[in-house]
Amino acid sequence: MTPTNTPASSAPIAACESRDASPFAPVIIVAGPTASGKSALALDLAREFDGVIINADSMQVYRELRVLSARPDDSETAQAPHRLYGVLSGAEACSAGKWRDMALAEIATSHQNGQLPIVTGGTGMYLNALINGIAPIPDIDKSVRNDLTRELEALGHAAFFTKLREQDPETAATLDPANSQRLIRAAEVLRATGHGLAHWHGAGMLRPPAGMAFLKFCYMPPRDILYDRCNRRFDLMINQGAIDEVRFLLAQNLPGDSPVMKAVGVRELAAYLAGSLSFEDAKTLAQRETRRYAKRQLTWFRHQMPDRETIDAQYSESLASKLRNLVHQFLLTAPK
């Protein structure tokens, strides 16, 4: 990364009209795997540029997972506005399309208020939907998914996949027969709309609004450092009440396939509470799954966000100054 010599500005940001009447709508993306340090950068930029931090983490949208999703604490939310954190019940599935709609609304409000939207998180599917667009698949009633979940359980993966392949071979060719979530998603779209996912993906993407421009930062720390942070973060979560959080979550009697029930740490601590795992075994498994998740995130960002500004150094004031200057230069690119 090459620093500039232009001082950063803390002046409010507003969408500007360009000569072709398309608004310049700047959006900062702060991405990276879990425990990478992206939250500290997002908060620093929000303080410097009168920013609004908008969540792009698929688990931090759920109000029941404050600890295990590492949501910002009260001291952080007091320093800058935070949006889309803890806004949904764990009983409610949040798709990339639903999140995109909520994020675009928050981005628009930020611009209207003269503030800079800073979208931060590690869910690549969400960020991709915002930056590159998403297929225009209609919302589907939850009952369809529930019916298909029961059907998958009754038939088994192999028979369920065979049935789907007979009905929608084009979509089936893109699926892993062992991936329950993807199989059910493909089947529910077909049943509810009469068209398969492949059809919808070829129907044209819902693109970002005209004039929206992105500056993308992505934390990519060395793997050994990242893994150590993952391990230490889970220890911290335990101290902050993760076990009680899972105990409360289990008391809600949510379906086992609810996204919130699949959060890293939930299954392992649930097994500990049920007596089928010792605490040490549950901790070891949860830390391993956290590391594996971080590795998948690293891989995704490396291949799917090629135009990112990569950050691989420990966060420091000198690094923060360089990044602020990059934001300042980006904001100066507004068409006059």
Domain ranges of the chain: 16-134+206-222+297-331, 142-201
Does position 9 have pLDDT exceeding 60, yes or no? no
Per-residue model confidence (pLDDT) at position 60: 97
Confidence class for position 138, pLDDT limits 50, 70, 90: confident
What is the phi/psi pair of residue 271, to 5°?
A: -65, -35
Please report the sign of the dihedral spanned by the C-alpha atoms of residue 273, residue 277, residue 279, residue 284. negative
Could you tell me which residue, 333 or 279, shows the higher pLDDT?
279
Report, as an integer, the average pLDDT of 315-319. Answer: 80
SS3 at position 130: helix
Write the pLDDT tens digit of every residue in 100-134: 999 999 999 999 999 999 999 999 999 999 999 99
Write the pLDDT tens digit of every residue in 16-40: 544 344 688 999 999 999 999 899 9
% of the chain with per-residue pLDDT over 90: 73
Confidence class for position 10, pLDDT limits 50, 70, 90: very low
Report the C-alpha gap between 302 and 271 in whole angstroms.
34
Same fold, 16-134+206-222+297-331 and 142-201: no
- Assign domain 16-134+206-222+297-331 to a CATH class: alpha beta
Per-residue model confidence (pLDDT) at position 270: 97
SS3 at position 6: coil
Does position 255 have pLDDT exceeding 90, yes or no? no
Per-residue model confidence (pLDDT) at position 173: 93
Does position 314 have pLDDT exceeding 70, yes or no? yes
Report, as an integer, the average pLDDT of 273-292. Answer: 97
Confidence class for position 238, pLDDT limits 50, 70, 90: very high
Per-residue model confidence (pLDDT) at position 67: 96
CA 128 to chain centre: 10
The domain 142-201 is classified under which CATH number: 1.10.10.10, 3.30.360.10, 1.10.20.140, 3.30.450.80? 1.10.20.140
Report the C-alpha gap between 36 and 251 in whole angstroms.
32
Does position 151 have pLDDT exceeding 70, yes or no? yes
